[in-house]
Amino acid sequence: MSSIKRFIVVILFDGVDLLDVTGPPEVFALLQREMDDETGYHVVLAAETMDPVTTSAGVRVLPDITFQEVSGRSIDTLLVPGSVEVDAQRRVHAVTDPTVVNWVKTLAGRARRVASVCVGAHILAAAGLLDGKRATTHWSTAQQLAAEHPSIEVDADPIFIRDHDVWTGAGISACLDLSLALVADDFGEAVALHVARQLVMYLKRPSGQSQFSVPLAPASTTRRIDDLRHHITRNVAERLTVADLAEHAHISERQLTRIFKTELGMTPAAYIETARVEVARNRLESTDDALERVASTCGFNTTDTLIRAFRRQLHTTPTEYRNRFRSSAQPEGCARARSEGRRPA
């Protein structure tokens, strides 16, 4: 019987992020446990030459094939990782090698689909493969991608985005989520979930899952804003209005709003909601509290307000979020019953 494995080519070049290169093949290798010998994926690492490639972590990787050799073959999936450099001010900047960009553009013409991992989206953009498309990348280089390629609709929030036959993934470990999504697209959700369990990923994250977390928000340069952020976190269940925050900071409401927009890029009300969603996410993951209790302890007051906030920020509902990310080993039916305020059957 002839092999019907899907041919996946992972791009290699000096300075490439190591996990971007090794993460997806690990997912695809684990898939093989769920498939027979003739199906699944055949993964190769391709580089300009057969010389060892030194990754950003200093680990050297050996290519399986050259770009020239692979250019004559039909490719199922072209997977493009990325690379960054950090300047003296510790600012992260995605880098693109013109030679790699040209080869990606050439090989993409032989591929059924193309996917970028993390800042690999910058290489796809430089190759013209994201023009007119919606795409994501690591949050630290999203502004760079949008500034350098205004024809791209850059959305820095989702962990991956699919726009027809082009997929883009967010930061670093999200390469696993992207790879699982590719597996699900090829072989179905059930198979992808089996692979997720092998990876000890509790469940696959949906593409709308945010790559941001409130505690990971950049530190402010204004001590007053940092104090307000801590005040919001400590009092998230309390009544928090712009007037309350302005009084706490001893400034006018107008000045408070201006500082929030300048320092954090959002209004005080939007930040408060984001902080409350973050606390609610933690409670949904770690407790069996009913939605009514989660809403009240996180300052939402009603479950409807909680649900609307989750839909705005995470593109899912609290119950769906809990079913995907709860950390307890309880049966799903019990968790759903408690989250809806019912006694388990």
User: Which residue, 232, 182, 227, is CA-closest to 204?
Assistant: 182
The CATH code of domain 214-339 reads 1.10.10.60
* Range(s) within the chain of domains with CATH label 1.10.10.60: 214-339
Find, among 152, 170, 166, the residue nearest to 207 by Cα: 170
- Rounded to two decimals, the pTM is 0.65
Give the model confidence (pLDDT) of 273-296 as tens digits.
999 998 998 888 788 899 999 999
pLDDT at position 314 is 82
Residue 210's pLDDT is what? 56
Mean pLDDT rounded to a whole number for the chain: 86
Does residue 259 contact residue 274 with C-beta atoms inside 8 Å?
no
Residue listed under structure tokens 């950049």: 218
- When mean pLDDT is compared across 7-11, 24-28, 138-142, 218-222, the lowest value belongs to 218-222
Average pLDDT over residues 205-233: 64
Chosen CATH of 6-198 out of 3.90.1150.10, 3.30.1490.20, 3.40.50.2020, 3.40.50.880: 3.40.50.880
Task: Give 222's pLDDT tier (boundaries 50, 70, 90).
Answer: low
Q: pLDDT band at 217, cuts 50/70/90?
A: low
Distance of CA 266 to the CA centre of its chain: 21
211 pLDDT exceeds 70?
no
For the chain, the first-to-last Cα distance in angstroms comes to 50
Average pLDDT over residues 110-136: 97
**Mean pLDDT of the 9-28 span:** 95
Proportion of the chain above pLDDT 90, given as a percent: 60
pLDDT at 335 exceeding the cut of 80: no
User: What pLDDT shows up at residue 328?
Assistant: 41
pLDDT value at position 198? 83
**Segments of the chain assigned to CATH 3.40.50.880:** 6-198
